């Protein structure tokens, strides 16, 4: 049975994955946001179609003018015409900055599938693959040996993790890997809270409980 990777190799691998994802999609790397968007893929696909339809700023402006004219009973020419006695405003150059667009939902679905397949391949190649319905002997010794209680504890923990992720605006991968790599203050603070809480809980589990 092979040993685990050294810490520096794992850190380098995570860094390469994060950098590659950011360069490829031009967005931050995050598992919780990807999971949320994949779960609501119908709504996300509708938004993507709207973004594609109004990618051209001129088309978007014309659509807004038409909708305003329909609502207030005026013509688009009246909305765009200059006030009486004034010369038409000079044409403004189109903005060259690209409007940031969310990562396609299919790309985030591919990310989640890749995480699963990567873990599966790693388990097989290391000889540690094993189907199980609990968290292992360590969890049984520290938390509870009762299978039903274990399921309840894991379910409650999952709900709290989901709530905390939504409250913090990201998970450990989004804040810890991508956000800290970009030196975002909110990510630095969130990651400090993540790890600080983990240290306290670990101390309570091993030393107190």
103-114, pLDDT tens digit by residue? Answer: 778 888 888 898
Q: Count CB neighbours of 153 within 10 A.
A: 15
Q: Find which of 50-59, 81-90, 106-115 is predicted with most confidence, using mean pLDDT.
A: 106-115
Residue 93 lies in a domain: no
Residue 145 lies in a domain: no
Half-sphere exposure of 112 (CA within 13 A, CB side): 13
Residue 78 has pLDDT above 70, yes or no: no
Range in 126-130, 151-155, 195-199 the model is least confident about: 126-130
List, for residues 176-191, the tens digit of each pLDDT value.
888 888 888 988 998 9
The three-class DSSP label of residue 95 is coil
Residue 148 lies in a domain: no
Residue 174 lies in a domain: no
| Distance set, CA 147 to CA 92, 96, 98, 152 (Å) | 68, 59, 53, 9
Q: Find which of 17-31, 136-150, 174-188 is predicted with most confidence, using mean pLDDT.
A: 174-188
Higher pLDDT, 49 or 2: 49
DSSP state of 73: T
List, for residues 158-169, the tens digit of each pLDDT value.
898 888 888 888
Q: How many domains does the chain have?
A: 1
Q: What is the mean pLDDT of residues 93-110?
A: 65
Q: Rounded CA gap, 15 and 167, in Å?
A: 25
Residue 170 lies in a domain: no
Domain span at residue 42 reads: 1-83+102-131
Residue 193 lies in a domain: no
The average confidence (pLDDT) of the chain is 77
Tell me the pLDDT band of 96, cut-offs 50, 70 and 90.
very low
Q: What is the mean pLDDT of residues 134-151?
A: 78
Higher pLDDT, 209 or 195: 195
Q: What is the pTM of this model?
A: 0.59
pLDDT at residue 95, rounded to an integer: 47
Percent above pLDDT 90 for the chain: 3
Residue 83 has pLDDT above 80, yes or no: no
Closest CA to 99 of 15, 26, 45, 167: 26
Residue 27 lies in a domain: yes
Tell me the pLDDT band of 117, cut-offs 50, 70 and 90.
very high
Residue 118 lies in a domain: yes
């Amino acid at each position: 049975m092979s040993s685990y990777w050294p810490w520096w190799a794992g850190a380098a691998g995570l860094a390469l994955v994060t950098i590659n994802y950011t360069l490829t999609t031009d967005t931050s790397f995050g598992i919780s946001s990807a999971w949320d968007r994949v779960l609501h893929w119908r709504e996300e696909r509708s938004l993507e179609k709207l973004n594609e339809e109004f990618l051209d700023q001129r088309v978007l402006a014309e659509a807004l003018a038409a909708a305003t004219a329909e609502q207030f009973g005026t013509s688009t020419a009246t909305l765009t015409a200059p006030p009486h006695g004034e010369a038409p405003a000079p044409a403004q150059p189109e903005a060259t900055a690209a409007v940031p667009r969310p990562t396609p939902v299919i790309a985030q679905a591919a990310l989640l599938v890749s995480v699963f397949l990567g873990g599966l391949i790693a388990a097989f190649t290391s000889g540690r693959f094993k189907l199980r319905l609990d968290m292992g002997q360590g969890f049984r010794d520290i938390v509870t040996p009762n299978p039903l209680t274990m399921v309840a504890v894991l379910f409650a923990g999952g709900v709290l993790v989901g709530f905390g992720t939504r409250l913090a605006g990201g998970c450990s991968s989004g804040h810890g890997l991508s956000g800290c790599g970009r030196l975002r203050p909110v990510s630095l603070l969130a990651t400090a809270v993540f790890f600080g809480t983990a240290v306290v809980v670990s101390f309570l589990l091993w030393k107190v409980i």
